[in-house]
Structure 1
């Protein structure tokens, strides 16, 4: 009797900072995860830190691994040895790196050394130009990562052009669940009543307290807006290394009573409904998926011109140069909130623009399948 040919399982290792709800990179990747699993792929993850969340349970239930790097200096031998061990034992077809810098470089380098022919560097942000140190570091590591990678991918044309210059790259869209991000009056009423802000104009933020998000200027913009509309509050959802500093500054500016810092939320779609305007003047964004989520719920959005033009899915997206003073931003915000009419969800615009899970769910699968043929 002839022996049955055993089909080799297709395997990929995905490196990303964190696998947790609310992390932009994780959200982008997990939009494609289920389609990979349903087509016979085994997907392991390598992260800086493991967080308890629904995705962690899902990945484990599927029989896949989540590896955590040692809590050491990223340049330490322990980190390098851990990466080497995982790649050596994993026998992966593809290594997919979603982190710039040293850890991403080490991962692609090890993948090459162990004969993995398909190595992807996926850029989720443009080059980091926050200061001279990050400019030099980003330039050096981008060169090293691109040298080790066989494929270049970006979340938007803007991010890809910034990161890769004239080199060929593929855009893998960051998309949203239009069934989830809808405006619900009942959610609006519940949250606003709970926070005692029923009659306030709510300027909302969803983002980390990090230099990239430009939190000090954001606070200045709100302070100017609050001068124009005393019945306004700032509702900030998120956490981060600069949170205490920003809270102290809000207090010193006399804004303590007008600022609500509520931490990270898993049910973020409900909180968008409670807002009247979304504000995030980032210094840079790869795509800015929060702008897509907010617009889909019918929320007017204000971001900087450093946010990719691809975020302009609807007329609700307003991009202003960071060269403009905070009072210019505030005046533009006031004009929009004064003119706001009936709120409605904007799912149809996102469906037409192809920014939905249904339209793109097979894009990463097709990329993987093409790479191993």
Structure 2
């Protein structure tokens, strides 16, 4: 491996931090299946502390570089820092930016460093619950940098593509759709395990309705709505347990609010969970009342687990895998309607594994299959990447 031509081609992913979010999990799902003798992933993170996936990245031979965000460092310092990393640690075959509206600046830094492939990737359908006129004007400016400095635009779904790049780019088929693929083998294996054993592992009660949610504790996930649903189930004297997995800046506030509502014994805050397929095995229904989303990977994972899902209609219809498990509902429908739909969904008959596998694969959510498409975007041959 001393000869430069024998070294793996390196791709640099730029992320806010490699914690267990949908985009980050999608990257890792494909990274694990990459032939790392030929292609290696590195990461720029805007978080100085160690993130959930950082140890695994390093164990797989990747590198994690810390760069302060634009908000912390300022635009010129941000560009300078990324350019220096690219020059000092390259060469890089591609730079793949996942930071939504800031991706254009990452692409500019990569262009200045001479990186041939520069990808801007959209993972969201909005970036603020109530954007102002100034926010909209800023987005148009951000798009100019994306269009001018990238060599390819990518999105996890059509709605995410329209949000970040505009309807015109979508109509011209100028955006590559790369769904957030998952490792289907892990879900098939988890679906064969004992549900009772998995409940015991996570400390989840038996003989109750288990309402599950996985998501970071940020405003967009709308956790207060979940707490109010729990209040309604308790008032109705329905035996239940709400299980919330994830971490984030609002977690402590939600824990305190749950205590104030007298829900200490009804809601289980698990924090970050590594084995999502095993956790999903314990749920009876998955609930996601988000204010906005891109195309949340966790909903694909829930359906891969055969779970009925009740979600807000702010979440794109593209999350429906066509296997009869997804119910979209307006947040304005009222808590009574939500509790009714959750109770009804929990009685849904689980589809067979072959139906689950077929539904997800047909819609492009098999991580192994998506790896070849990703290598095409990087202008790396399939033989090199797998």
Choose 132-141 or 41-50, whichever is displaced more: 132-141
Alignment match, 1:93? 93
C-alpha displacement at 1:364, in angstroms? 0.3
**Does the Cα contact within 8 Å between 2:120 and 2:153 map onto a contact in 1?**
yes
C-alpha displacement at 1:259, in angstroms? 1.0
What CA distance in whole angstroms lies between the structure 1 residues aligned with 2:305 and 2:237?
Answer: 23
C-alpha displacement at 1:77, in angstroms? 5.9
- TM-score for both structures, normalised by structure 1: 0.86
**Does the Cα contact within 8 Å between 1:302 and 1:317 map onto a contact in 2?**
yes
For residues 240-269 of structure 1, give each alpha carbon's deviation from its aligned partner in whole angstroms, at most 9, with x where no partner exists.
111122122222223222111111111121
What CA distance in whole angstroms lies between the structure 2 residues aligned with 1:62 and 1:257?
Answer: 40
What CA distance in whole angstroms lies between the structure 1 residues aligned with 2:164 and 2:40?
Answer: 29
Q: 1:59 to 1:257 in 2, by over 3 A?
A: closer
Matches within 5 A, 1:179-190: 179-181=185-187, 182-190=190-198
Q: Which ranges of 4 or more aligned residues in structure 1 deviate by more than 6 Å? A: none
C-alpha displacement at 1:358, in angstroms? 3.3
What CA distance in whole angstroms lies between the structure 2 residues aligned with 1:336 and 1:127?
Answer: 28
Q: 1:324 to 1:274 in 2, by over 3 A?
A: same
Q: 1:312 to 1:226 in 2, by over 3 A?
A: farther
Q: Of 198, 201, 205, which residue of structure 2 is paired with 1:197?
A: 205
What CA distance in whole angstroms lies between the structure 2 residues aligned with 1:152 and 1:352?
Answer: 23
Alignment match, 2:222? 214
Q: Please give the secondary structure, in 2, of the residue aligned with 1:175.
A: coil
Q: 1:153 to 1:39 in 2, by over 3 A?
A: farther
C-alpha displacement at 1:351, in angstroms? 3.4
Alignment match, 2:27? 29
Choose 145-154 or 275-284, whichever is displaced more: 145-154
**Does the Cα contact within 8 Å between 2:161 and 2:175 map onto a contact in 1?**
yes
**Does the Cα contact within 8 Å between 1:225 and 1:333 map onto a contact in 2?**
no
Q: 1:296 to 1:31 in 2, by over 3 A?
A: same
Q: 1:196 to 1:355 in 2, by over 3 A?
A: closer
C-alpha displacement at 1:209, in angstroms? 0.9
Q: 1:229 to 1:164 in 2, by over 3 A?
A: farther
Q: 1:189 to 1:157 in 2, by over 3 A?
A: same
C-alpha displacement at 1:370, in angstroms? 6.6
Specify every segment of 5 or more residues in structure 1 that has no aligned partner in the other structure, as ranges.
none
For residues 225-247 of structure 1, give each alpha carbon's deviation from its aligned partner in whole angstroms, at most 9, with x where no partner exists.
34345201111011111112212
Choose 189-198 or 205-214, whichever is displaced more: 189-198
For residues 277-316 of structure 1, give each alpha carbon's deviation from its aligned partner in whole angstroms, at most 9, with x where no partner exists.
1011112221111111111111111111222212111211
Q: 1:109 to 1:343 in 2, by over 3 A?
A: closer
Q: Please give the secondary structure, in 1, of the residue aligned with 2:72.
A: coil
Alignment match, 1:312? 320
Alignment match, 1:14? 13
C-alpha displacement at 1:18, in angstroms? 2.1
Alignment match, 2:384? none
Q: Please give the secondary structure, in 1, of the residue aligned with 2:331.
A: coil
What CA distance in whole angstroms lies between the structure 1 residues aligned with 2:225 and 2:280?
Answer: 21
Alignment match, 1:357? 367
**Does the Cα contact within 8 Å between 1:188 and 1:270 map onto a contact in 2?**
no
C-alpha displacement at 1:57, in angstroms? 4.7
**Count of residue pairs the alignment pairs up:** 365
For residues 41-64 of structure 1, give each alpha carbon's deviation from its aligned partner in whole angstroms, at most 9, with x where no partner exists.
343211123666895455435544
**Does the Cα contact within 8 Å between 1:225 and 1:327 map onto a contact in 2?**
no
Alignment match, 1:243? 251
What CA distance in whole angstroms lies between the structure 2 residues aligned with 1:299 and 1:256?
Answer: 25
What CA distance in whole angstroms lies between the structure 2 residues aligned with 1:255 and 1:335?
Answer: 23
Q: 1:229 to 1:172 in 2, by over 3 A?
A: farther
Q: Is the aligned partner of 1:110 residue 2:109?
A: yes
Q: 1:19 to 1:179 in 2, by over 3 A?
A: same
Q: 1:208 to 1:117 in 2, by over 3 A?
A: same
Choose 7-16 or 318-327, whichever is displaced more: 7-16
Choose 11-20 or 53-62, whichever is displaced more: 53-62
Alignment match, 1:324? 333
**Root-mean-square deviation over aligned CA pairs:** 2.9
What CA distance in whole angstroms lies between the structure 2 residues aligned with 1:330 and 1:156?
Answer: 29
For residues 186-233 of structure 1, give each alpha carbon's deviation from its aligned partner in whole angstroms, at most 9, with x where no partner exists.
244442476361111110110111111111122223322343452011
**Does the Cα contact within 8 Å between 1:19 and 1:50 map onto a contact in 2?**
no
- TM-score for both structures, normalised by structure 2: 0.84
Q: Please give the secondary structure, in 1, of the residue aligned with 2:369.
A: helix
Q: Is the aligned partner of 1:159 residue 2:164?
A: no
Q: Is the aligned partner of 1:124 residue 2:130?
A: no
**Does the Cα contact within 8 Å between 2:310 and 2:341 map onto a contact in 1?**
no
